[in-house]
Amino acid sequence: MDVIKSRRVSVFGSTGSIGRNTIELLEARADEFQVEVLTAHSNIELLCEQAVRLNAKTAVIGDETLFPELKERLRGTGITCAAGASGLLEAAARPVDWTMVAIVGMDCLKPALEIVAQGGCVAMANKECLAAAGKLFMEAAQRSRARLLPVDSEHNAIFQLFDPERAEWIDYITLTASGGPFRNNTLDELENVTPAQALQHPTWSMGAKISIDSATLMNKGLELIEAHWLFPVGHEKFRVMLHPQSVVHAMVAYVDGSVMAHMSAPDMRVPIAHALAYPERMRAGTASFDLAKIGALDFEPACEKRFPALRLARTALERDDGSATVLNAANEVAVAAFLELRLRFTDILPAIEGVLEEMAAAPGALGTPQNFDDVFELDRLARRKTLENINRRARSRRNLPHTPAGVPNPHMEKIA
Ligand code: NAD
Ligand code: MG
């Protein structure tokens, strides 16, 4: 089954959870892929190891202070080294056949735009870019004729079920959500949740930021917005269903009552393999999927009243202005503050809602971004406001439950 002939590929964010899974798949069929660029923010050891193992042409480290060490470590290997934002952008501008976009957060937007501008196949794992700037991002992809391949498991599932030629016959689309580690807890019980507890996802193994997003369900909120831009059927057609087994990733219901569901083990190698081999198929290295072993599958509608993150995302979609940019920025700041032990878990969503309402109430503060400069400006403003609010709150409330001052937080390095 020699379907994938030597393709030039790059992996942005190769040391992260998605990045490592991608590297594993590339390595399993090393003779079919020629690795151009690998990038990481600060995990220099793993970046160098991957670059040497996969014989990459270039390794880029985001943290510029690590550039001398990168050169030292890769001396004599023939691998070109680069660093910092400019190094990332130059690497992103290098045309390849396929790129994995797996840098977490809005820091990914500039390199992602450069990657999209080259017009190849773009495996899109990052969801923040689409949540914050979906309309403009999709327009950029259309202009360059880049082939966007969604990697987020729900969106990859919809992509496999969705026929854009027959979109008018779609009745509704369901995104499933595991519900995260606190699905059955009351708000009171979540007051003293620590980062270590929130990072324990019941079904998926992921990076720190998305794990916290899954615990607040903001991950599903961001995914609703992401889905709206990737599959333009109208946001009111998207539903969220709680499904603790994380086996069904999405369902597309047609007007005749047929419902197509996509299933797989909760393992990101499955959607990554789909995107890597597209339009062919390749083995993902997972055990053969056996529904009989799983036995029963549970579903219940995710109530937007019970899960405020879904309500906030839905409101941002309804407003159709810069709200989604603000929501995403405020969420990144609030999640980082929680991981740094500066914000309670239960204060993450109120912090986001506070900034959204504050900016919506200020005349002219929340227009619809017309271009990416507007997006970056709105993002900067929302981050500043969120940080100010969090700092003000922290000053007035010094009794956070998990603030042993000076104790290093092991989760911090994962967040840029
Ligand atoms: P992660 O934190 O494990 O990895 C992030 C990667 O980005 C690392 O390689 C890191 O070095 C790099 N990075 C971080 N900040 C950077 C910066 N400022 N500049 C350059 N590089 C930087 O994250 P992840 O879980 O792999 O998620 C990556 C993206 O994919 C996120 O947007 C996430 O929402 C999305 N996603 C992840 C999963 C999953 O299962 N992990 C599933 C669906 C979608
Ligand atoms: Mg997902």
User: Is residue 387 within a helix (H) or strand (E), and if so which, with residue range?
Assistant: helix 372-396
Pairing of strands 80-83, 58-61: parallel
102 CB near ligand 1 (under 6 Å): yes
The whole model's pTM is what? 0.94
415 confidence band (pLDDT: 50, 70, 90) = very low
6 confidence band (pLDDT: 50, 70, 90) = confident
Ligand nearest to the CA of 271: 1
How far apart are the CA of 293 and the centre of ligand 1, in A?
Answer: 31
Question: Which residue's CA lies nearest to atom 21 of ligand 1?
Answer: 41
Q: Which of 88, 89, 103, 175 to mutate to test the pocket of ligand 1 (most atoms within 8 A of CB)?
A: 103
**Residues ≥6 apart with Cβ < 8 Å to 348:** 212, 216, 218, 331, 334, 335, 338
Q: Which of 206, 214, 267, 331 to mutate to test the pocket of ligand 1 (most atoms within 8 A of CB)?
A: 206
Residues 322 and 317: their CA atoms lie apart, in Å, by 10
pLDDT of residue 378: 97
pLDDT reading at 2 higher than 70 = no
Ligand nearest to the CA of 246: 2
Residues 124 and 100: their CA atoms lie apart, in Å, by 6
pLDDT tens-digit series, residues 35-76? 999 999 999 999 999 999 999 999 999 999 999 999 999 999
Provide the percentage of residues in the chain whose pLDDT is more than 90. Answer: 85
The stretch 213-234 carries a mean pLDDT of: 97
Residue 3 vs residue 309, higher pLDDT: 309
Please list the residues that pair with 98 across neighbouring strands: 9, 121
pLDDT tens-digit series, residues 192-209? 999 999 999 888 889 999
33 confidence band (pLDDT: 50, 70, 90) = very high
pLDDT of residue 204: 81
pLDDT tens-digit series, residues 391-414? 998 887 765 554 443 333 333 333
pLDDT tens-digit series, residues 383-395? 999 999 999 988 8
Residues 324 and 326: their CA atoms lie apart, in Å, by 5
**Residues ≥6 apart with Cβ < 8 Å to 219:** 177, 180, 210, 213, 309
Given a contact cutoff of 8 angstroms between Cβ atoms, the answer to whether 320 and 271 are in contact is no
**Residues ≥6 apart with Cβ < 8 Å to 61:** 39, 40, 41, 42, 44, 47, 67, 70, 81, 82, 83, 87
How far apart are the CA of 34 and the centre of ligand 2, in A?
Answer: 28
Given a contact cutoff of 8 angstroms between Cβ atoms, the answer to whether 174 and 262 are in contact is no
Q: Which of 10, 15, 18, 20 to mutate to test the pocket of ligand 1 (most atoms within 8 A of CB)?
A: 18
Residues 122 and 101: their CA atoms lie apart, in Å, by 7
pLDDT of residue 406: 35
269 CB near ligand 1 (under 6 Å): no
The stretch 283-291 carries a mean pLDDT of: 94
* Lowest-confidence region among 91-95, 112-116, 190-194, 377-381: 190-194
pLDDT of residue 398: 63
**Residues ≥6 apart with Cβ < 8 Å to 59:** 37, 38, 39, 47, 48, 51, 70, 74, 79, 80, 81, 82
339 CB near ligand 1 (under 6 Å): no
416 confidence band (pLDDT: 50, 70, 90) = very low
120 confidence band (pLDDT: 50, 70, 90) = very high
Ligand nearest to the CA of 44: 1
363 confidence band (pLDDT: 50, 70, 90) = confident
pLDDT of residue 267: 96
Ligand nearest to the CA of 158: 2
In the block, tokens 């010094």 appear at: 398
The stretch 119-146 carries a mean pLDDT of: 98
pLDDT of residue 306: 86
267 CB near ligand 1 (under 6 Å): no
pLDDT reading at 5 higher than 60 = no
Residues 240 and 308: their CA atoms lie apart, in Å, by 13
